[in-house]
Chain A
Amino acid sequence: MTRYAYYPGCSLETMAASYHVSSIEVAHKLGVELEEMEDWNCCGATAYSHVDELLATVLCSRNLAIAERQGLDIVAPCNACFKNLRTTALALQQDADLAEHMNFALEADDLQYGGGVEVNHLMDVFVQEEMLETIRSKAGDRIRGLRVAPYYGCQIVRPRRPGVELTEVDNPQYFEELLAAAGAEPVPYPYKLRCCGAALMVTNRRAAAEMVRDLLQSAVDEGAEVIATACPLCQTNLECYQADVNRLCGTDFNMPILYFTQLLGLALGVGVRRLGVGKELVSAKALLAGRAEKAAAQ
């Protein structure tokens, strides 16, 4: 069984609780053990980098050190946490002075970081070829033919990881492959890497609302029945604020937004409640009920 140090991030304890439960369920089904990190702290989001670079680095260093003590590589389900942890791990690897400075700080919590932790996004775990094969063999008909827009978000691919070609971050395909392995039909989604507006939903509502409007419109235009996300901030902006986007932009969207782990869980036969389905503000019930009938008729 593959084991990882699981870094849920703050959102998965609250707004994105359904991402948390569905991640655990799917991992369990696929033989992956997610061992939650002991006393992890916030990654600092974007705010800490706005204030001070060292401050942002020290927060993530603590998490890296905790994972190292656990002896495991990190898995983070949130794009922003993933990016912060990953870029910090890289900076510490490349800059010995910075690492020394951070280790001086870490001593205050009886921690040390030697630089040996790899940071993965949760999706990385499920898109390995062997894993895709397992998913293909285990997937039932619950989401077969479901037209899904694969919304990567930005920080899952950017800034680019070392060794990754520009073409791979321009038009990645692994999310599509994962959805297809689960039986769904990924639609071409030109906006799949475009920003959801992130914290602008708070700091500049008009800007973020228009960004979300464009994302939703693109999915509608491509005939998607649901948008799948891999980030709690993307999910919140696209889903929780969908009503406000409609109000501000004069639109009439009613597009369910589910986490990729919820769709994967459905395909693997996990019950809807155990996947946190039903916690959405834009209900996915009609969509999934329709699927059940279709699957039964086939």
Chain B
Amino acid sequence: MVTTTAGKLSFREEVENLLHAEDGASLVRCIQCATCSAVCPVVEFMDHTPRQLIGLINAGMKDEVMSSNTFWTCASCYACTEKCPEGIRPADVMYALTRYSLWNDSFDRDWVAPDFTRRFTRTILRTGKSYEPGYAPAFIFEGGFGGIVSEMQMGLKLLAKGRLPLVPARIKRIRKLRAMVARVLPLDGIE
């Protein structure tokens, strides 16, 4: 194990510690071949390619990494994870970084994804099921006037087709589900 100073974890180690339940290879194995970047369908919308991000993590450039939109832009399609010749699991690294950024509250307030994630999480903790209309405030104003009109038109059509629920569904034993979650994590930390 390589540490920057005695007893203090390097940024790479901090990130890898968030991957405890995964069996991917250590990020030090990265050979910067860029296969992950080449197969990523959303790479052109990322501040840094997956290859660059892993390089930055290995170089300990925490601020650069945490201010990058890359891990919030990942769509979790796992193309990179299948193709990495070194057995690194870049998609899981992206998840590790979103967790790191939510826990440290270190994300850009203009980004939709962290807000959407929190709304989604709270919804499930309250009802046990997802409820799409509840997430609209996270993004509805992003698309400008044209976007709002388009979103509303779609919503009305979906309503007419019976595809949009007016009332959130709820599981029967939601209290017990909450009690279960509380045995894993303090609820007030996630609500």
What residues of chain A have their CB less than 8 Å away from a CB belonging to chain B? Answer: 10-11, 13-17, 39-42, 44-55, 57-59, 62, 91, 94-95, 98, 101, 104-110, 154-155, 158-160, 166, 169, 193-195, 197-200, 202-208, 211, 240-241, 243-244, 247, 278-281
Contact = CB atoms under 8 A, between A and B. Distances in A.
B185 interface: yes
Interface in B146-174: 146-147, 150-151, 153-154, 157-158, 161-165, 169, 171-173
Contact of A50 (B79, B81, B99, B181): B99
A108 B179 contact: yes
A177 B164 CA distance: 33
Given A104-B183, A159-B81, A194 B41 contact: yes
A105 B78 contact: no
B13 to A, nearest CB: 17
**Residue of A158, A193, A197, A278 most packed against chain B (CB within 10 A):** A158
28 contacts: A13-B129, A13-B165, A14-B163, A17-B162, A42-B124, A42-B129, A47-B117, A50-B113, A51-B117, A51-B118, A52-B185, A59-B181, A108-B182, A109-B179, A110-B176, A154-B76, A155-B77, A158-B77, A160-B82, A194-B77, A195-B41, A203-B72, A203-B138, A204-B45, A205-B139, A207-B42, A207-B73, A281-B154
Contacts of B150: 243-244, 247
B147 A205 contact: yes
A13 B169 contact: yes
A195 B120 CA distance: 21
B183 A41 contact: no
A64 B134 CA distance: 27
B172 to A, nearest CB: 5
